[in-house]
């Protein structure tokens, strides 16, 4: 490979990488907490809340992320809502991933022994106190692996925003390949994606080891 050519590519690819990381961080920052009320709503005894939460999760998990991206960027202007490319991408990813996290949270919450709910009720805890003090802390330990898997998937999914012209890593590589008729940029982009997913995998393993140690100590 031509080292000089690689050096000329790196500033553009680095700028695209920063955009990818920005989308990744903002998606997690907003979707992780947003998923929790929908998870709790999905198991609520209040039927309107339960139906609303389950419908939200069903829609965003049941339709392609690309289609959601097109609808929010190209479709919402028909209803008088116009978002710029970057905002449309962030909104789409947050709504989509919140639905996936909601389902992970729901499964984690329902995996906790029902006897703990009954014990908390006997102690005089309200349903919200039971959820906040007893159930959610235990759930966190169980949902780290699936949350980590979704985070790794998110890194790769960010490439979809190329379809609406957001200048993330894949678009930067694609523009360079089209301009120079040289696939080196694609190779470098692949290396960067692999590096990002590797770092997330290592972080995930550290978190799992940390919480598994705590669980053993509690036992």
- 202/210 Cα distance (integer angstroms): 12
pLDDT of residue 2: 82
Segments of the chain scoring below 50 in pLDDT = 214, 217-219
* Chain centre to alpha carbon of residue 99: 9
**Is-contact 159 172, C-beta < 8 A?**
no
pLDDT of residue 217: 47
- 37/42 Cα distance (integer angstroms): 8
pLDDT of residue 215: 52
Neighbours of 111 (CB within 10 A): 11
**Is-contact 132 71, C-beta < 8 A?**
no
**Is-contact 30 87, C-beta < 8 A?**
no
Q: Is 181 left (phi over 0), alpha (psi -120 to 50) or beta?
A: left
pLDDT of residue 214: 47
Distances in Å between the alpha carbon of 94 and those of 11, 22, 170, 186, 206? 28, 13, 20, 27, 25
The CATH H-level (homologous superfamily) assignment of domain 3-218 is MetI-like (1.10.3720.10)
- Site of tokens 């729901």: 106
pLDDT of residue 156: 95
- 4/144 Cα distance (integer angstroms): 42
pLDDT of residue 119: 79
- 151/137 Cα distance (integer angstroms): 20
**Is-contact 36 143, C-beta < 8 A?**
no
């Amino acid at each position: 490979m031509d080292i000089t050519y690689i050096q000329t590519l790196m500033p553009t690819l680095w700028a695209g990488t920063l955009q990818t990381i920005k989308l990744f961080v903002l998606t997690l920052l907003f979707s992780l907490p947003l998923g929790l009320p929908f998870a709790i709503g999905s198991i609520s005894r209040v039927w309107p809340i339960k139906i609303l939460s389950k419908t939200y999760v069903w829609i965003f998990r049941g339709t392609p992320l690309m289609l959601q991206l097109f609808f929010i960027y190209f479709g919402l202007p028909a209803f008088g809502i116009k978002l710029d490319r970057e905002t449309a991408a962030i909104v789409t990813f947050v709504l989509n991933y919140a639905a996936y996290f909601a389902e992970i949270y729901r499964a984690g919450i329902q995996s906790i022994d029902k006897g703990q709910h009954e014990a908390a009720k006997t102690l005089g805890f309200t349903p919200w106190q039971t959820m906040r003090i007893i159930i959610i802390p235990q759930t966190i330990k169980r949902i780290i692996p699936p949350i980590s898997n979704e985070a790794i998937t998110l890194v790769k999914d960010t490439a979809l925003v190329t379809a609406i012209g957001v200048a993330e890593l894949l678009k930067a590589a694609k523009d360079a390949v089209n301009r120079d008729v040289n696939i080196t940029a694609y190779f470098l982009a692949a290396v960067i994606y692999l590096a990002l997913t590797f770092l997330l995998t290592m972080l995930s393993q550290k978190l799992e080891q940390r919480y598994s140690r705590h669980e053993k100590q509690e036992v």
